[in-house]
């Protein structure tokens, strides 16, 4: 499973766009990139997943360059409620699909 590297923490202000970049230099051909969000005292929650180029849903966008060695989660116009830990995960969607979490990025959104 490819190892991921992401910033330990980030600060932002309400209304700003936040971009969290994750490095995964050893990503394999069959690996997908997935981001989860976790609030205190809750389990992680799926945000978005992609394989290449750009994926957008109602919550976020995921940008993946052609070499797929990194990815960027983009949160548009963050609010205080977006304060959470964000995890970048890389893995193959095989039958077990065991997710391996790193330490994540702690995002603090200030008023």
Q: Which residues of this protein are in contact with other proteins, per CB under 8 A?
A: 32, 34, 41-46, 49, 85, 87, 93-104
The distance of closest approach from Cβ of residue 16 to other proteins in the complex, given in angstroms and rounded to an integer, is 25
Tokens 């995960």, located at residue: 89
Q: Tell me the closest approach of the beta carbon of residue 85 to other proteins, in angstroms.
A: 8
Residue number with CB closer to other proteins (60 or 104) = 104
Is the distance from CB of 107 to CB of 54 less than 8 angstroms?
Answer: no
Phi, psi angles (nearest 5°) of residue 25: -60, -30
Buried b / exposed e over 39-60, threshold 16 CB at 10 Å, is eeeeebeebbebeeeebeeeeb
Q: How far is the CB of 5 from other proteins (least distance, A)?
A: 13
- Nearer to other proteins by Cβ, of 16 and 106: the residue is 106
**Residue closer to other proteins (CB basis): 78 or 104:** 104
Instruction: Enumerate the β-bridge partners of residue 55.
Output: 62
């Amino acid at each position: 499973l490819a190892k991921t590297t992401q910033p330990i923490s980030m600060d932002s202000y309400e209304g700003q766009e936040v971009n969290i970049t994750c490095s995964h230099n050893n990503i394999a051909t069959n690996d997908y990139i997935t981001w989860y969000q976790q609030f205190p005292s809750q389990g992680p929650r799926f945000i978005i997943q992609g394989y290449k180029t750009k994926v957008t849903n109602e919550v976020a966008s995921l940008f993946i360059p052609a070499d797929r060695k990194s990815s960027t989660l983009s949160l548009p116009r963050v609010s205080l409620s977006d304060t959470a830990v964000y995890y970048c995960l890389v893995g193959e969607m095989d039958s077990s699909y065991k997710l391996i979490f790193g330490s994540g990025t702690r995002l603090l959104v200030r008023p």
